[in-house]
Structure formats: C-alpha cells, structure tokens
Amino acid sequence: MSSTKIGIGSKLAYGFGSIAFGVKNNGFDYFLLFFYSQVMGVSASLVSAALAIALVFDAISDPLIGYFSDNTRTRWGRRHPYMYAAAVPVTLCYFFLWNPPDQLSGDELFPFLVAISILVRTLITVYEIPSSALVAEMTDDYDERTSLLSFRYFFGWTGGTAMATVATLMLLVPTAAISDGMFNVAGYHQMGFVAAGFIFVAIMVSALGTHSLIPKLKKPPPKRVLSIATIYKEIFDTLATRSFAALFLSAMFGAVATGVVAALAYLLYTFLWGFTSQQIGYISASVVISAILALFISPVISKTLGKKRGAIAVGVLAFTINPAPIVLRLLGLMPENGDPILFPLYLGIIVVDVALIIVYQTLGSSMIADLVEDAEVRTNKRSEGVFFASVTFIRKTTQGLGVVAAGWLLSRSGFPEGATPAEVPISVVHDLAMVYVPAVVLLWSLMIICVSMYQVDRTKHEENLQTLGRG
C-alpha cells in the first residue's frame, strides 16, 4: 500500500489483535513469578531458570519466523497464514500455563513450567511477528504509521489491563480460607480460561478484519532455496545499520527494566504499599485511562517533535516519575500505609507515568517501521518481518531476563517464598526497594542514550521514499 490514510475500521482491526500479546505479556510479566513462587511454592530461582530456558528457544525462533513470513507465498499473502495458524494452539497452551497438573507441586512443577513457557512464547511469536510487520505494509506515511501503532498499543495495553482487572477484582478474591485474594489458586485457574478466550478472539478479529487488505500488501521476493546459515547471514546484513543498532540496544535495556518492574509490581503493591487486591485491581484498570491519553498524544508528538526527539523527551519524563514514589517512601516522605491519601496519590502518578511509557513505546515501534524503507534502499529487499522479529525478540528475551533478574533480586534481599505480608519484615521489603530503584534507573538511562543515536528522521524517510519511487 502507498502513503495513503488508513480507514478507521482497518486501524481498529489491526490494533485489536494486540490484545492477544497484551494479555500474554500481562500474565507473564505481572502474575507468573508471583503465581509459581508465592502460590504454587516453586523456588523463585527455578521459576527464573524456567523462563531463561524458554528465552533460548525465542533466540532461535523469532528471527526465523520473521524471515519466513517475509518470504511466504500463499493466496492469503505473507502474514495472515501465520496469524490464523497460531490462534488455537496458543489459546490452549496459555490455558494450561495457569492450570498445571494437580499431581505436581512445589519444585516438581519446574519441567512443566519450562515446557509450557516455551510453547506459549513460540506460538505467540508465530502470530505477533507477522501481525506487527503489517504496519510497514499498510502505509508508507511517516505519521500514519504512528497513528496505526497508537491503536495497536492502545489495545495491547487495555487488553492486558482488562484481563488484570478481571483477575484482581473478580477472580483473585478472598475466600473463607484465603484472606488475600492474590493467593487464591482457583482464581488463577479461572484467569487462565478467561485469558485464553481473550487471546483467541483478538487473533481472529484482527486476522479476519485485515484479510481484505491482502491484495494491496507488498508481494514477497522471488522464490529462492537457501540454507539456514544463508538465511541468518541475510538477516544480519539487513539489520547492520547504526539506526537499527540504536533501537535494538534501546529495546534491550528498556525491556530488561520493564521485566523487572512488571515482575515485582504486585509484590511491591502488596508488601511495600499494603494495597488490597481490590486496590491493585483499580491500578490495573487505570491503565485504560493511560492508554486513551497515549492514543491521542502519540500522533501529536510524532508530528510536532518527530519520533526520535519525542521519544527522548517523553522517555526522560516517564522514567523519572516511575521510581519517585518508592524513593520518597524510603526517605519517609510518602504517606504511611493505610493513610486515605496514599492510594489516590499513587494512582494519579501511575496514570501519568504509564501514559508516557505507552507514548514512548509507540514512537519506538514507529521508528522501526521507518527502517524498512531505509534497508530497502540499501539491500533492494523489504524485510518488515525481520525488523519486527528482531526487536520483538530482544524485547521478549530481555524482558524475560528482567523477570529472571527480579527473581535474583528477591533472593538477594532474602525475600521468602510463600510468605504473607505479615510474615515479611519491613526491613526485607526496604532492602528489595533499595536494589530495585538504582537497577531500573540505570537501565532506563542506558535506553535513552541508545535511542539518541537513531538517524532516520522525517527528512531521511522522505528521501528514502523518493529513491524507491514512492514519494
């Protein structure tokens, strides 16, 4: 497709598919470590190890799926066969992630967690990478890509949020035997069923809703017979630019930080701030407000500041705000737990911060899309899938490493598995907070430094389109 505007229906269908990835990410990032370590009794280090093993498989599969989707030839185009094929398998596997075998308990669950994590990660990749790559095919327009991705991030964040809200307010609830809903095993089982349904519907709506665009999308290159070694060489040749390296490294540092933040969020909500499961549910629900703000802010930032300058400005602001409440708590400047002003104050900070984070992510993905034409000028090949696979891979891998790091931080602070808030000394919670803050601030700083080296601005993008005869 050309540099034309995309209809609202296509934008909605394209964006809606990101609910699947949002639900999966929300579960892995926010609930998985808590569920398997604190609820199911698996050692935090073993949970981290299981996720690390799954990441090895991501390292192999992600670039290959991107490359194969770039070169697939079917009457349904390059991307849609993968999207349809992933729907049922990933749905089933995500259900079983939260419904482990009853006959296994504690560390006995480790082999199961390894296997199911690999399956979920691989199958969501089969859907997500071809789906993500569609943005660079649907339009060449510099700002329209940001608009498209605003919808994608809106649905991705709100989908994950909706699932977390349903979980914390309706499923992970106290019972007669369980005073804290976050420890309700049956609630997690129910969450797996509902989340799996979300994933299936999102994939099918997006695939069917964008199906009519297939004849207008880019055609695959001439068929060639290549070895795996040659495929990887072409992938590396395509990605060998300063701008891609900048986004790659930026995504790496940002994703590790995100993984740490996400994996420890519910622990900090519960143990540091003393929030109830209902209050945590309200925090999760507030992300919808943040996503709506980001939906409108992202295109404005793209048009006024440009993607790179906008990302830097928004990133510095967002990642200054994020750790501020914890720093203030450690300094004794935040209201005490139970103070009626604490929760609304914290909630307001979170709404603003998450909105800025979503804007940053939207601009970052839009910059990736602009690299497609930059590489096409240099290599005479379009490689949307390769670009999005590479960055998706580094985000998944390093975010997963963030979860691994979070498990290490828990062990480093002496945080006990399976403990309730009343059983954990406040000194242990503060020890966790004191290693958490400098770790994430350092990672976010490195992220901003890296993105500053990106070189494809609006002028360069227009020059690339002119060279390709599409300006």
Structure confidence by residue, pLDDT tens digits, 114-159: 999 999 999 998 998 899 888 888 888 888 889 888 999 899 988 9
Q: What is the mean pLDDT of residues 196-215?
A: 93
Give the pTM. 0.76
Residue 240, classed as helix, strand or coil, is: coil
List Cα–Cα distances, 267 to 260, 348, 424, in angstroms: 11, 20, 11
Q: In the chain, how many domains are there?
A: 1
Determine the angle formed by the axes of helices 110-138 and 342-379, rounding to 10 degrees.
60
pLDDT at 224: 58
CA quadruple 102, 103, 109, 113: dihedral sign? negative
- Domain for residue 215, yes or no? no
pLDDT at 412: 73
pLDDT digits (tens, 9 = 90+) for 35-64: 998 889 888 889 888 988 887 787 778 778
List Cα–Cα distances, 296 to 199, 300, 362, in angstroms: 25, 7, 11
Q: Is the pLDDT of residue 400 over 70?
A: no
Q: How far apart are CA 439 and CA 409, in angstroms?
A: 10
C-beta neighbour count of 73 within 10 angstroms: 12
Q: Which domain holds residue 191?
A: 8-210+229-467
pLDDT at 263: 76
Q: Is the pLDDT of residue 16 over 70?
A: yes
Q: How far apart are CA 356 and CA 144, in angstroms?
A: 20
Q: Which residue has the higher pLDDT, 201 or 332?
A: 201
pLDDT digits (tens, 9 = 90+) for 369-391: 888 888 888 878 777 777 777 77
Q: Which residue has the higher pLDDT, 255 or 445?
A: 445
Q: DSSP assignment of 145-196, as one string?
A: HHHHHHHHHHHHHHHHHHHHHHIIIIIS---SS-SSGGG-HHHHHHHHHHHH
Q: Which residue has the higher pLDDT, 464 or 229?
A: 464
Q: What is the CATH number of the domain that holds 417?
A: 1.20.1250.20
Counting every residue written for the chain, the total comes to 471
- Domain for residue 147, yes or no? yes
- Domain for residue 218, yes or no? no
User: Of all residues in the chain, what percent carry a pLDDT higher than 90?
Assistant: 35
**288 burial class (0-12, 13-18, 19+ CB within 10 angstroms)?**
middle
Q: How far apart are CA 449 and CA 220, in angstroms?
A: 36
Q: How far apart are CA 219 and CA 371, in angstroms?
A: 18
pLDDT digits (tens, 9 = 90+) for 259-306: 788 778 878 898 889 888 788 888 878 988 999 999 999 999 999 999
Q: How far apart are CA 149 and CA 275, in angstroms?
A: 33
List Cα–Cα distances, 24 to 27, 34, 120, in angstroms: 5, 15, 8
275 φ, ψ (degrees, to nearest 5) = -75, 145
Residue 242, classed as helix, strand or coil, is: helix
List Cα–Cα distances, 58 to 15, 253, 402, in angstroms: 24, 17, 15
Strands (DSSP E) found in 194-300: none
pLDDT at 36: 92
> What tokens does 372 get?
């497609």
pLDDT at 341: 94
- Domain for residue 162, yes or no? yes
Q: Which residue has the higher pLDDT, 403 or 397?
A: 403
- Domain for residue 438, yes or no? yes
- Domain for residue 414, yes or no? yes
Task: Read off the pLDDT band of 418 (50, 70, 90).
Answer: low
Residue from 206, 64, 57, 205 nearest 131 by CA: 206
* Contact criterion met (CB below 8 Å) for 403 and 69: no
pLDDT at 52: 80
- Domain for residue 224, yes or no? no
Determine the angle formed by the axes of helices 18-26 and 8-16, rounding to 10 degrees.
30
CA quadruple 38, 43, 49, 54: dihedral sign? negative
Q: How far apart are CA 253 and CA 25, in angstroms?
A: 17
Among 8-12, 163-167, 290-294, the range of highest mean pLDDT: 290-294
- Domain for residue 362, yes or no? yes
Which residue shows structure tokens 């906008």? 310
Q: How far apart are CA 429 and CA 336, in angstroms?
A: 15
Q: How far apart are CA 418 and CA 38, in angstroms?
A: 4
pLDDT at 379: 79
Q: What is the mean pLDDT of residues 209-228?
A: 74
pLDDT digits (tens, 9 = 90+) for 85-115: 999 999 999 999 999 998 888 899 999 999 9
Q: How far apart are CA 409 and CA 435, in angstroms?
A: 7
Q: How far apart are CA 14 and CA 12, in angstroms?
A: 6
**227 burial class (0-12, 13-18, 19+ CB within 10 angstroms)?**
exposed
What mean pLDDT is reported for the chain? Answer: 86
pLDDT digits (tens, 9 = 90+) for 234-266: 667 767 788 888 888 888 888 888 878 877 887
**Torsion angle (degrees, nearest 10) of CA 318, 319, 324, 325:** 70
